[in-house]
Chains A and B, each alone.
Chain A
Amino acid sequence: MASQPTHTRASTAPGPRREARSFIDPQALMRIESLQLRAASVVEGFLHGLHRSPYHGFSVEFSEYREYLPGDDLRFLDWRVFARTDRFYIKRFEDETNLRCELLLDTSRSMGFGSGTFSKLDYARTLAATIAYFLSLQRDAVGLRTFDERIVETLPARYRPGHLNRLLLALERTPAGEGTDLSLPLEEVAATVTKRGMIVLISDLLAPLDKLEKSLGYLRSRGQEVILLRVLDPAEVEFSFDSPTMFHDVESGQQRYVDPRSVRDEYQTRFQEHADAIKRTCNILGIDLYDLTTDQPLELSLFDFIQSRQQRSRHVARRSNRPRRDA
C-alpha cells in the first residue's frame, strides 16, 4: 500500500513542495504533552517554507507590483509609481478571506487503535489542533464537534481571543467513545451549521458505507465545502501481523482467530474495495478526500488541507474571474 496520501482530485496547481525530509517525526511530536505546543510546532515549522498565497486580490495587505497589461483593471494602477517612473504598474494585494471552518472529529473506539506508540485518535487530535491553530493565525473562525455515534462535544466556529484555547482544551479532554455511526452526527451538523463554510471531517471511516453518501450529501447540499481527512494506522492498511492470534474488535468486542499470513490478501482486497467505495462517493459529491497514515508528518496533512483550499479558491476565482473580496 502506498505510504503517500491519496486525494481524489488531480492537482496541477503550483503548491507548496511536499518533501517530508525536513518535517517533524510524528513519534517525536506525540511525545510533546501539550496539544497547543504540538500544533504550534507543526504550523511554525510549516510556515518556514511556505510561500504566501499566490492569489492576489484587493486587500489591505500589499503583495507586489506588476507591469500593466492591456485589459487589467485600471483601478489597481498605482499612479504614484507612474509619476515617479513613468511606467504603468498594477498594484497587487493578497487575496483575503474570512473563513468559517468546522472541525468534525471522530472519537469512536476504532480511533483508539494504534500499532505504534500513539493511537489514531492522538494523531487526529493533533491534526485538528494543528488546523485550528493554523486557521486562527489567519484570523479564521474555527469550530469543533466531536462524535462517535452521536455528537459528544460542540464548540461553535468563532474567532475571538481565548477561543483557540477553549478548542484545544476540548480536544485534549476528548475521551474515546463507542462505535462509529457517521450518519447521525453528520445530519445533526447539517441541521445546525447554517452558515456556509468549510467542514473538515477527521475520521477513519471504518464503518458501513450505506448511509455515508446520504449524510455527506446533506452537508454538500447546504453549500458546505467538505474536506475528508481519513486517518489510518499503517497496520490497518498493510495488515502487517505475523503470527496467528486471536483478534479482538475494539468496537464490537468480537473475537476471531486469524492467521494473518493466510488472510492478508483477502483483507487488503476488502479494504481496498471499501476505500474505493469511499473514493467514489467523494468524487460524486465533490468532496476532497485525503488518506493519512499515522506515520506521516503532520505538516503533510496541513499541505493537503491548504492545497484543497487553494483548489477551491482557484475554482471560485475561475468562476468569478476576479479577485474576491469579502470584507
Chain B
Amino acid sequence: MNLIPSMLFPWFLAGAFAIALPIALHFLRRSPRGRTEFSSLMFVPTSPPTLTSKNRLDDWFLLLLRALAVLLLAIAFARPFFRSSDMLDEVAASNRRVAILVDRSASMRRADLWQRAAEEAERAAIDASSESDVAVYAYDDSLEVIVPFAETGGPQAAGTHIRGVKQRLLDAGPTWGATNVATALTSVADAMLAWQDRQRTQTTLQIILISDMQKGSQQEQLQSYEWPLQIPVDVRPIVPSVTANAGIQLLSNDDDLNPTTEQRVRVSNQRESTREQFQLRWWAGTSPLGEPLAIYVPPGESRVVQLARPTPGSAVDRLTITGDDCDFDNNRFLIPSEQRNVTVLYSGAGSLQDTKQMAYFLNLAMIDSQRRRLRMQLQPASDPGPLAIDDETGLVVVSRALSADQIRQLHSYTAAGGAVLFVVPDASVEETLGALLEDPAIKLAEAAGDYAMLGQIDFEHPLFASFLGARYNDFTKIRFQRHRKILMSATETVEIIARFDTGVPAVLVQRRGSGQLVILSSGWHPADSQLALSSKFVPFLEGLLDSTSNASQTPVNWQIHDAVPVNGFTVVETPTGEEIKLDTNATHFDATLSPGIYQARLSDQTRRWSVNLAPSESRTAPIDRSALEQHGVQLGVATSQEAELQRARQLRRTELESNQKIWRWAIVAAFGLLIVETWLASRPKPEPSPLGSTG
C-alpha cells in the first residue's frame, strides 16, 4: 500500500519558524534605547554600532540541537500520520432534504409581498436543488403542499422537479387565513423526522421559512414543541415597504342582555406605523351610513371607542377603517344580533303553580339569553287535540301518554330538526314510549329499592358536553328516589348516554332526521328526584335547545376557515355571489375562505353569518427572527455538501492519526535532544579570553 505522509493540523508547522526568531534577534543591530545623561564624554570614545563579539555564533552544534528540538515539537503539534491515497474517498455525502415554507396568510396581501415571496421561494428552491431534494409548502393556519419532495432521496437536476415554483405560488395566491407558523413548522419538521427515521444513511435536513414575520404569527405555540436540533431553520423575512397598518376588532358589551345603542370597537395601531389619524364608518353594502368617526391612535397603542350603532332596520353589514396604508384588514363584517322568541311546549301533569310537579320547575328554568327569549307553553295532559307546535317551538317536553296522531306529529317535528324530551312518568306509558321509539317490544317497570344516582355518563355527547370539565361533572349529589326500568329488544337506533348506578338506562337518545328524541327515565320534580333543584338542570335544558335548529344559538360572526354549523341547509351563498350546494347530511360548512356575509338557504329559511379575518392578522409589526429562537427553534443553515464532506474527511484523518499517534515519538525525540543539549551545554568550557568576555 502506498503510504502518504500527512498532517492533521499542518498550520502548527508554522511554529518551526520559532527556530529563526532567536537567531534573527541575535543578529539584529542593537539600536539605542533612550538617552543617558553623563557627566563628561571626554573619556568616551565613539563606538559605531557594529557586531560585537556577542553577535557571533559560537556553538553551532548546540544551536542545531535546539533547532531540531523546536522542529520536532512543531511536528508533534501538527499531528503527523500516514495514510494511503484511497482512505479519504470512503466518505459519502448524506441524503439531503430542504423544505421551503412560504407564508400565504392574509397579511401577505400587502403591497408586493406575495410576488417577492414567490421570487424568493424560487431562488431558494433553485439554490438548494443542486444538492438536495426540495419541497415547497404554503401555509396560513393550515399547510398546503405546492411542490412535493421528489422522493429520489437526493438532489434533482435543477429546473425539472422545482420548475415554475414562482408561477405555481402566484397562481395559488395568498389566502385570507390567519398565520400559524407554529403548526406549519412543526408539521413539516415531523414529516421530515419521519422520513429521516425511514432512511438508513446519514441525512441532512433544512427548513427555509419565507414570511413577513408578522407579530400575529402565533409562534408562541412553538413553546410546547421540542424542536429537533438537526433541523435548522433559515428565516428569510420579506419586509414590506409600507408599515402603517391599523386593525379593528368588534367587542361585545359587558351586559349582553341589554344591548346599548353603542358598539365598542378596539382600534390598534402598529408600532412601526407612520399614521395616527383614522376614520371609522358603518357601511350597508356599497353605501356608507352616517358620518365617519375620526379617532386618534398613536403608533404602538390601541384604543377602545364607543361607536353609535346604526339605526335598527338599516342593512348594515360592515364597519370600515380608513387612514392606513394596508387595506386588507380594513373591513369588519357583522350581522347584528337579534333575540328570537322560542317556545318550550310542555304537555303533562300539573300546573305552573303546583310546586310538586315538573311544569313548575320547567317554567322556572326559562332563562333568556342574548339571542333567545324563552317562554313556556303548557298543554294539559287531558288535552286530546294535537300538540300546539308552531314555528317558534324549540323544544317539546312530554310526560304523559299520547295518541297516535300526537306521536306522528312529534315524529314529523323531530324529522324537521326539532327536539322532543319524553319524561317517563310511570310504567303506564309503555305503549306511547314504544310508539315513539318505534320499538313495540319495549317494556317499562317501576324500579324498586333505594335511591339511585347517575353512574355512567357519556360526556362526549352534546347534551352533557357542557359538564365535561372536572369542576362540573359531579352528579353524585342528585338522588333519584324513583325511576323506571326500560327494557328494549333492539338498541341499535337508541343511544344510552347515561345510566344509573344500578346499570339501568337513565337518558336515551334517538336521532330522528335532523332532530332527536330524548328519553328520561325519571322526572325532575321532588317526588322523583332532586334534578330540578340541582345546578345541572338548566344547562341540560340549554343543551337540548341548542341541538335544535329552531332554538340553537349558533353564533353569527365567524372567522376565516371556521366550520359553520349548517344543519339542514342545502345551499350556501358566499360573499362573491357563488352558490355552493351542500350534501344532504352536511352538518358544517367550512369553505369560509374570504371575509364577508354568507347566506345559507333551505327553501324559505335563510341564515346569514359574517366571516372576518382573524384579529391576529392585523398585528403586522415585524418580529425578529430571534423570537423563533426564544421558542426553541434552531435557527441556521445546514452545512453545505462540500463542507460536510470536508468534515467527514477531517474525521477520518483524526481517526487515522489517533490510531498511529506519531506525535508521541516526536515529543520523546525532542526531549531526548533537549537532554543531550543540556548535557553538552553544562560541560565546562575553556575560559574565554579576558578581552572577549566583557559585559
Binding site for B on A (CB under 8 A): 109-113, 120, 204, 206, 208, 233, 236, 239, 241-252, 254-267, 270-271, 274
Contact = CB atoms under 8 A, between A and B. Distances in A.
Interface in B36-90: 36-50, 52, 54
B260 to A, nearest CB: 97
B371 to A, nearest CB: 102
14 contacts: A109-B39, A110-B40, A111-B39, A112-B39, A120-B39, A204-B39, A236-B39, A241-B36, A242-B695, A244-B30, A251-B40, A252-B40, A259-B47, A265-B694
A233 B38 CA distance: 10
A245 B37 CA distance: 10
B44 A261 contact: no
B34 A246 contact: yes
A274 B42 CA distance: 10
B38 A247 contact: yes
B52 A257 contact: no
Contacts of A270: 42-43, 45
A264 B695 contact: yes
Nearest to A179: B40
Contacts of B36: 241, 245-248
A257 B30 CA distance: 11
Contacts of B48: 257
A267 B40 CA distance: 11
A67 B331 CA distance: 144
Given A267-B44, A267-B45, A261 B39 contact: no
Contacts of A266: 45
Given A110-B39, A244-B49, A258 B44 contact: yes
Contacts of A243: 30, 33
Contacts of A245: 32-36
Interface string B172-215: 00000000000000000000000000000000000000000000
B42 A206 contact: yes
B46 A250 contact: no
B21 interface: no
B1 interface: no
A261 B40 contact: no
Nearest to B30: A244
10 nearest A-B residue pairs (beta carbon): A261-B695, A113-B39, A110-B39, A270-B43, A249-B41, A206-B40, A259-B47, A263-B47, A245-B32, A271-B43
B38 A113 contact: yes
B56 to A, nearest CB: 14
Contact of A259 (B35, B43, B52): B52
Nearest to B695: A261
Contacts of A208: 42
The winner among B33, B39, B42, B54 for most chain A CB atoms within 10 A is B39
> Which of B40, B42, B47, B695 has the largest count of A CB atoms less than 10 A from its CB?
B40
Contacts of B42: 206, 208, 270, 274
Q: Which secondary structure dominates chain A's binding surface?
A: mixed
Contacts of A251: 39-40
A120 B38 CA distance: 12
Contacts of B691: 265
Given A243-B30, A244-B30, A251-B40, A263 B35 contact: no
A266 B54 CA distance: 18
Contacts of B41: 247, 249, 252, 254, 256
Contacts of B30: 243-244, 259
Nearest to B41: A249
Interface of B: 30-50, 52, 54, 691, 694-695
Contacts of A264: 694-695
A113 B36 CA distance: 11
Contacts of A258: 44, 46-47
A274 B694 contact: no
A256 B39 contact: no
Looking at B43, B46, B695, the one whose CB has the most chain A CB atoms below 10 A away is B43
A111 B34 CA distance: 22
B43 to A, nearest CB: 4
Contacts of A239: 44
Given A208-B42, A247-B36, A271-B43, 12 more contacts: A112-B39, A113-B37, A113-B38, A204-B39, A243-B33, A245-B36, A248-B38, A256-B41, A257-B48, A258-B44, A263-B45, A264-B695
A222 B37 CA distance: 39
B44 A263 contact: yes
Contacts of B39: 109-113, 120, 204, 206, 233, 236, 249-251
A262 B31 CA distance: 14
Contacts of A204: 39
B42 to A, nearest CB: 7
Contacts of A112: 39
A257 B691 CA distance: 21
Given A265-B691, A267-B44, A249 B38 contact: yes
A17 B618 CA distance: 108
Nearest to B38: A247
A319 to B, nearest CB: 40
A229 B38 CA distance: 21
A257 B35 contact: no
B48 to A, nearest CB: 8
B46 A256 contact: yes
Nearest to A114: B39
B105 to A, nearest CB: 77
A249 B35 CA distance: 11
A7 B691 CA distance: 29
A242 B32 CA distance: 11
B590 to A, nearest CB: 92
Contacts of B694: 261, 264-265
B45 A257 contact: no
A259 to B, nearest CB: 5
Contact of B49 (A241, A255, A257, A271): A257
A271 B50 CA distance: 24
A30 to B, nearest CB: 18
B240 to A, nearest CB: 70
Nearest to A268: B43
Nearest to A113: B39
